[in-house]
Amino acid sequence: MAAKFIISLDLGGTNLKTALLDLKCRIKDKQILSTPIFNSKDKLICAMTDSVMAIIQRNKLLRKDIIGVGLGLPGPIDIKHGVVHFFPNIPGWKEVKLRGILKKKLGLPVYLDNDANLACLAEYKLGAARGFKNVIGLTLGTGVGGGIICDGRLYRGSSYAAGEIGHIPINEYGPRCNCGGIACVEAYIGNNIIIKEAKKIFKKNISLEELSKLARRGNKKAIGIWLDVGRRLGIALTGVVNVLNPDCIVIGGGVSNAGRILFDKIKEVISRYAMPVQSKAVKIFKARLGSDAGIIGGALLVKEG
């Protein structure tokens, strides 16, 4: 019987998600682990292999039933050689030959790419950006990831590291970013930064979800925080819109759940600062595939080989 399933992993600074999908990229089983509990590179690699094997065993499958394993990873990846250059928000990773390691451990074909590239690919093929040819995808979470679809193809750049919208500097001076840069948009609007800012303003711990709820109820302090996030992201996206002239921008990840306050501010900033031709052409959507976009993108990566 022909192989009929794909396993996809989506690694972020907060969670490691592993899923079993059919060939139509429908999720059949999924498990989520907390990334920070695996406090070394080797432990995290073991967690990846263990979670793949656990899903195979739990679903009473054999290796021959799996056509491949796709991984979305939060940093620049050399997709040709299967190497992780580094992760801005997970320490201890530098020039790791991850594809080779996992292939040896799992005995399965393994495909790697940047997680935001895969989320963008999924939204383009199956989500909010279906029917558009030039798409910017953004994931707003622990980090700020980006992907670019150019004339219907994922644009990866000369070193396979294109799309790092979260690492566009939005000031000449500013906070040091985990990528090594200065004043990157991620250093202002990564979810940990927003939570830290909210704690300072509300004098207590407050989750992103609570912050969104407060803003929806009209809390001025919460609204102020989300307006700052929207303004900063809008400034970074203005440059992207001017340079790439996309049909649409799709925004997903936990921070995007702030809703209209955030999206209206982003739209307002782009329409105010972007060049008029590009500004008129671009539409801005909330991602449709939610937290599964990266997993579905990993399955698409395997399907496309």
Residues 219-277: pLDDT tens digits?
A: 999 999 999 999 999 999 999 999 999 999 999 988 898 889 999 999 999 999 999 99
Q: Long-range contacts: 17-20, Cβ < 8 Å, 24+?
A: 17/291, 17/294, 17/295, 18/48, 18/51, 18/52, 18/54, 18/55, 19/55, 19/292, 19/295, 19/299, 20/55, 20/59, 20/61
CB atoms within 10 A of CB 120: 32
What pLDDT, on the 0 to 100 scale, is given for residue 9? 97
What pLDDT, on the 0 to 100 scale, is given for residue 2? 64
Helix, strand, coil percentages, rounded to 5, for the chain: 45, 25, 30
What angle do the packed helices 220-244 and 191-202 form, to 10 degrees?
Answer: 150
Q: What angle do CA 283, 120, 214 make, to 5 degrees?
A: 65
Ranges in the chain, pLDDT < 50: none
Domains of the chain with bracketed CATH: 5-117+292-304 (3.30.420.40), 128-287 (3.30.420.40)
- Residue 112 vs residues 164, 187, 295: alpha-carbon distances, Å: 17, 26, 12
Buried b (16+ CB within 10 A) or exposed e, 236-248: bbbebbeebebeb
What pLDDT, on the 0 to 100 scale, is given for residue 1? 52
What pLDDT, on the 0 to 100 scale, is given for residue 130? 95
Extended strands (E) in 163-282: 248-252
The encoded tokens of residue 295 equal 């997993």
Whose CA is closest to 139, among 265, 302, 6, 297?
297
What pLDDT, on the 0 to 100 scale, is given for residue 305? 80
